[in-house]
Amino acid sequence: MKCIIPIIAVGIVLALTGCWTITVKHQVEPIYITMNVNVKVEKQLNDFFDFEDQGQGGSGSTKSIPHDKTPKQ
């Protein structure tokens, strides 16, 4: 009979510790999933629009900026 009370106390402590672990996991997973999707979308868009970097048309958002603006002597 004396042994039952400590066993119950240990059981309660273990149960509470288990609950805390589950709470932490639920907070972390959605962030990881959102980041993974964003990276995936970003990669797919970059792969699709690779022609923009190849200077098709050479104007607008990928227009070339003259680099040597130093005056000729």
Partner 1 sequence: MKKLNIKTIVLYFVLTMCSLITISSAQDTKDDIKLRMKDRFAQISELKQSGKIGETPSGFAEAVSKESAQDEKISTLLTAENNDRKLLYALIATESQTSVQEVGMGNAKRYFQKASASDYFKTQAGEWKQKKDMMP
Per CB under 8 A, residues contacting partner 1 are: 37-38, 40-42, 44-46, 48-49, 51-52, 56-63, 65
Of the pair 9, 37, the CB lying nearest partner 1 is at 37
Contact 58, 52 (CB under 8 A): no
Of the pair 50, 68, the CB lying nearest partner 1 is at 50
Instruction: Provide the minimum distance between the beta carbon of 18 and partner 1 in the complex, in angstroms, as a whole number.
Output: 31
Helix (H) or strand (E) holding 37: helix 4-48
**CA gap 44, 40 in Å, rounded:** 6
